[in-house]
Structure 1
């Protein structure tokens, strides 16, 4: 172990004061410090990426615990990590996340990476050293997670993924329609109009999911397996937002495990259903925040506690009421799909109820394998009747499948 590496490890481990260690690095020759820092950064990121952290997740957690510039360094580490693998051998979900981050090798040589990034950021050496050293500290405190997507170099998960094309995702044309509808719902200033757009989006998603379940059940040679995805839940009011995500997930035949220390929920289900949960949760959260802003009491110092209690109670009520209405909508959609199946007829008639029950047990078993021990979360307190009533009223305005846009 070189003296530079020992010094960095001591700072990261907390046995040497951070400022003292940083000062020592800044006065040492860059030819000695830079290669060691870059190597330690890549090793730290590689360890977490091999251990189950996906590109977008790692980027999010370091920005959440550190600084925005930390995320830029993680993006470069992802690009460097991918160099060691043929793209054909990397899971498409992993590749998609790397592409979302814009991960690519833009620097000319690893040996000059820190010098090049100093120029790229129009910064100075001390600032860059501070950023890298503090990121190493953040990375050292990131806990292990469950492997949900095989990291590069790992064997692929067996079984065909859900989705009519085997990709495991909702058809892109359908996704485009759903996204367009939800975008209109989020931008509309008229509740009835927003409700109609949201209802149509949910209707399309629900019908697609039931059609997929029937298709798999009728094709005895087709095997699909459930998966899981971590969805970020941002502060403030993470617990209340996680409850909303859980309500949306349950309505779409998924299950969630909330990890408050990391700021995400793990959603288990078939990929097309998880896509639906992700889209709908994001849209409903936007709509909830807009409705909350329109009905909340004035803030200020005197009203700060009241405002916080109002917002928390609003989100609790919104999540509970949305859960109630989604459950009813799911039941109505199932009844309609069952009637349609019976009317159309089929050489291989399939009863949807046992099909959905079997799929649900598959999802639960996957969740038990990943999280053998879970604890039921405590419910959030409601300290504002005003917020509670406003939240339920806002949820009532979110028309769902099988409902008239006017709501009921």
Structure 2
């Protein structure tokens, strides 16, 4: 998605600049692009709905940020939270500058758009909160257990960490609700395709599980990734003081879009 590279660049510029007016301009442009991406996705969904052929798993490389950008690990964590609730498997570059998403094409597209929106909302809300100066004089608990006074960098890190954790919680809850809803739906498809015998009812939950297995098998046969991604390794723990509280509150207010953007339907399910 072309929008993502431009959004990532604008967010990076907003974070680097010391000029608050420039930062607001960059964030405004990023927000406009994120909104446009949602419009593009709506058009794409209409086309996808008309396709008769069943989707097949694929993979796509998605740009996160430039090397040595402080926010990269947070942005990767955000994408992981979205992808895991949309039946994606994800490989991560050693320097967190890009990820490789494995899944159904429409699911990857949905995750890209939701990521663009949430990354922009996260950066915008963090910048606005930091600008108010409530972090000055506040303390956080370091990973070593010491109480330390916040800098603007540690306050932003605490805000981002809490924001992402709350978003992940909201997405998990939405996913569980969708699975429960799909367990009550009977899907009008060829049952033998999903392991059922002729005449047995096939639920939407079974289709979702079948898709997850299909993506998992595709990932195992396609990925060459080794090792484990360590995530954010800075000094700020989950006890980030006022910054953590502000991040959780911003995530609670964040727009997740439609239910289709929160958790994807399985192959063959109609709206």
TM-score, normalization by structure 2: 0.60
- Bigger CA radius of gyration: 1
Q: 2: distance between equivalents of 1:371 and 1:225?
A: 16
Of 68, 74, 88 in structure 2, the residue corresponding to residue 240 of structure 1 is: 74
Q: What does 1:8-157 correspond to in 2, within 5 Å?
A: none
User: What is the aligned-residue RMSD (CA, Å)?
Assistant: 4.0
Bigger CA drift: 273-282 or 372-381?
372-381
**1:258 to partner: Cα distance:** 1.2
* Aligned counterpart, 1:391: 247
Higher relative contact order (CA 8 A, sep 6+): 2
Q: Which deviations, in whole Å up to 9, do the C-alpha atoms of 1:84-142 show, x marking residues without a partner? A: xxxxxxxxxxxxxxxxxxxxxxxxxxxxxxxxxxxxxxxxxxxxxxxxxxxxxxxxxxx
Of 51, 61, 64 in structure 2, the residue corresponding to residue 230 of structure 1 is: 61
Q: 3-state DSSP class of the match of 2:228?
A: coil
**1:345 to partner: Cα distance:** 7.5
**1:223 to partner: Cα distance:** 5.4
* Aligned counterpart, 2:38: 179
Q: 1: distance between equivalents of 2:180 and 2:37?
A: 22
* Aligned counterpart, 2:209: 357
Indicate yes or no: 2:111 matched with 1:277: yes
Question: Which blocks of at least 5 consecutive residues in structure 1 are unaligned?
Answer: 1-55, 64-175, 183-200, 217-221, 403-408
* Aligned counterpart, 1:256: 90
**1:373 to partner: Cα distance:** 4.2
TM-score, normalization by structure 1: 0.41
> Closer, same or farther in 2 for the Cα pair 1:373/1:285, shift >3 Å?
closer
Q: 3-state DSSP class of the match of 2:151?
A: helix
Q: 1: distance between equivalents of 2:75 and 2:36?
A: 26
Q: Segments of 4+ in structure 1 off by > 6 A? A: 302-305, 344-348
Q: 2: distance between equivalents of 1:251 and 1:307?
A: 32
> Closer, same or farther in 2 for the Cα pair 1:347/1:246, shift >3 Å?
closer
Q: 2: distance between equivalents of 1:309 and 1:298?
A: 13
Q: 1: distance between equivalents of 2:225 and 2:40?
A: 39
Question: Which blocks of at least 5 consecutive residues in structure 2 are unaligned?
Answer: 10-34, 139-148, 192-200, 260-271
